[in-house]
Amino acid sequence: MTKRILKTSAALFLVAIFGQSAASAAPASTSGATALAVAAVVAQYSPLLSAYEKRLIAGIFDGNVKAGDKRKLSVTAESVTCRISNVAIAVRSCELTFKKGKRTLKGREANEVYATLGSAGVAAEGAAGSMIEGVTKLNCTLDPDVIKDNSGGGADCSFGADQ
């Protein structure tokens, strides 16, 4: 009986490990407040957006949605990878890769991106003293006209959660 329990436990453990890594590679999405947060924290570092678009997105995130703004906004990144050490607790960093360049963040800025990805359901994986979160093919769309209606819509993000 004990051997049977051990075999079952070992099998469940292996399924949990391999099942988790397969699931983490699956495409994911988020919408509403969480999508707006993801778009806003990534947008400020994007070389693909104009200064006006960055200010507009920051303003929307701050609750200042312009009435009648019909322009949909898009925030994209090829990949976002964040690392936070669980040993050297003051060490945290993120690398954001866009079609036109990369941006490396440290400290508070990296923590903001890491925490926001976590709120979007991106699972952290451990590796040698680090917790790593990463997404690929991040694509967020914001519709200010819908957001201003306060119906919970107007912000959507999709991404791959593989690292």
**Contact yes or no for 163/80 (Cβ under 8 A):** no
pTM: 0.80
Task: Express each pLDDT in 23-81 by its tens digit.
Answer: 445 679 999 999 999 999 999 999 999 999 999 999 999 998 875 567 899 999 999 99
**What residues form DSSP beta bridges with 142?**
73, 155
Nearest to 89 by CA among 122, 135, 121, 131: 131
